[in-house]
């Protein structure tokens, strides 16, 4: 059986069996530091009180990572790091922590990988200096079972209430921008969505834009045959990588409306201040001969149709 198929099956099983977040080990008081370990059955995380060490953010991160890779004193739980899995390097900038693992990461089972991600993100995100965590294997960004970049993860991406599911679903509200009937302005649609708790909000927004609007008088801005190659966030910029189908837009829409419907939707709903749109990984593009995509773009509210 292929790794991708195994990953999918295990994630489904996790939906049915794993408890989310960290169960109680030596339970820390509210506001106290902790480290997440895994129980001996490799089915759930365990939270143990930890005395934070370090005078600055870099020292705290290093000490937490060192502690996570060591085996705890308790025989009831263990490190989420298998013996040969090592951290080769890490960098911290603007509250974004990037961790580079050795190639052993690729040999992790789906269950152990899910637990590792949840434990590391939740443990490191308790630092005020760390808001996002991104994984790399050697120097390559971590990808999911479909080959798409996982991108930056946040603590809230993992359900943390005891008794809920690690791969569970959440309900949220999104404000999306589509084209009006004339194709010369944007109009908004607020929708309710049920989504996997480990899906980034930015990726969710792009997927919903691709589905198109549900109301009359509104028109889609992305061709339905477009494939999303990747959505990631770095340094407050959301990178949206689409295939060449994005350029085959037959809708009668001002090119600016297409581009800024994507930009406005992501900036309004996500944690990014700008959006860089790429086509097959390339940004040296002028969309429809009109919109320069070579640099990240900020939202443009002037293109939104005024309500009567």
Q: Tens-digit pLDDT profile for the chain (308 aa)?
A: 444 445 444 454 444 344 344 544 466 667 789 999 988 777 788 889 999 999 999 999 999 999 999 999 887 789 999 989 999 999 999 999 999 999 999 999 888 898 999 999 999 999 999 999 999 999 999 998 778 888 898 887 775 433 344 545 567 889 999 999 999 999 999 998 877 666 788 989 999 999 999 888 899 999 989 999 888 888 899 999 999 999 988 788 999 999 999 999 999 998 899 999 999 999 999 999 999 999 999 999 999 997 65
Return the SS3 of 25.
coil
Instruction: Please name the residues in contact with 179: beta carbons below 8 A apart, sequence gap of 6 or more.
Output: 185, 186, 187, 218, 219, 220, 221, 251, 253, 254, 257, 258, 261
Whole-structure pTM over 0.75, yes or no? no
At what angle are helices 3-17 and 110-124 packed, to 10 degrees?
60
CA 54: distance to chain centroid? 28
Query: Is 167:114 a contact under the CB 8 Å cutoff?
Result: yes
């Amino acid at each position: 059986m292929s790794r991708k198929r195994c990953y999918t099956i295990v994630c489904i099983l996790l939906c049915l069996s794993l408890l989310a977040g960290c169960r109680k080990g030596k339970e820390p008081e509210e506001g106290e530091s902790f480290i997440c370990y895994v129980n001996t059955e490799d089915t759930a995380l365990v939270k143990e009180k930890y005395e934070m060490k370090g005078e600055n953010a870099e020292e705290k991160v290093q000490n937490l990572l060192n502690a996570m890779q060591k085996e705890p004193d308790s025989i009831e739980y263990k490190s989420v790091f298998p013996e040969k899995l090592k951290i080769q390097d890490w960098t911290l900038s603007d509250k974004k922590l990037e961790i580079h693992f050795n190639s052993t990461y690729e040999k992790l089972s789906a269950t152990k990988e899910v637990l590792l991600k949840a434990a590391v993100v939740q443990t490191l995100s308790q630092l005020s200096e760390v808001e996002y965590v991104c994984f790399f294997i050697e120097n390559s960004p971590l990808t999911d079972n479909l080959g798409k970049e996982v991108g930056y993860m946040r603590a809230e991406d993992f359900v943390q209430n005891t008794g809920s599911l690690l791969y569970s679903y959440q309900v949220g509200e999104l404000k999306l921008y589509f084209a009006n009937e004339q194709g010369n302005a944007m109009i908004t649609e607020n929708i309710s969505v049920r989504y996997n708790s480990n899906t980034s909000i930015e990726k969710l927004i792009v997927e919903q834009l691709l589905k198109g609007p549900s109301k009359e008088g509104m028109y889609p801005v992305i061709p339905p045959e477009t494939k999303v190659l990747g959505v990631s966030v770095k340094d407050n910029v959301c990178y949206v990588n689409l295939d060449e189908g994005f350029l085959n837009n037959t809708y009668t829409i001002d090119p600016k409306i297409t581009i800024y419907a994507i930009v406005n939707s992501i900036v309004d709903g996500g944690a990014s201040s700008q959006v860089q749109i790429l086509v097959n990984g390339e940004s040296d593009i002028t969309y429809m001969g009109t919109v320069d995509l070579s640099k990240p773009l900020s939202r443009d509210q002037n293109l939104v149709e005024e309500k009567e």
